[in-house]
Amino acid sequence: MKIKYKNRRLLSYLVFGVLWLVMGTLSMIYQPTGWFRYGFFVFGLMYLGQFAFFKTKQYLSIENGVLTKNSFFPKSIELDKVRQLKKHAGNYTLKTEDKKLIINSHIIEEESLKELNQVLDNLGLREV
């Protein structure tokens, strides 16, 4: 199961990537010398790379009882080892004996948030 980002967040990565690339193109045309223009392309490619990565991986994955927070350095936590669930100010904090995972619910799509809440409710933990 994938817990998806809000479309607005993904769209912002796409828009910023395109804007940086347009600025890089314009700087190549109007200022053909200088190293600064390459920074625009680097930022544009970074934003487009983030868009592609987050669009395919999405925010969270739940497979075989393991919740994974997808990023360039993913973090995983086994759901059956979760001892504490804390919901505060839009963040969910899951704790085991040796790990801690914080989930930001503000960036999760509404339908996916319902699915996540269902999974967390099935853990049978009291909210702290």
Query: Once rounded to an integer, what is the mean pLDDT over residues 38-63?
Result: 93
- The more confidently predicted of residues 29 and 110 is 110
Residue % of the chain over a pLDDT of 90 = 70
pLDDT at 127 over 70: no
Closest by CA position to 6, among listed 110, 94, 115: 110
**Between the CA of residue 124 and those of 29, 43, 73, 86, 87, what are the distances in Å?**
61, 44, 29, 13, 14
Contacts of 7 (CB under 8 A, 6+ apart): 109
pTM of the model: 0.81
Computed over every residue of the chain, the mean pLDDT equals: 90
pLDDT in the model for residue 128: 63
Give the CA radius of gyration of the chain.
Answer: 19
Length of the chain: 128
**Contact of 80 with 99, CB cutoff 8 Å:** no
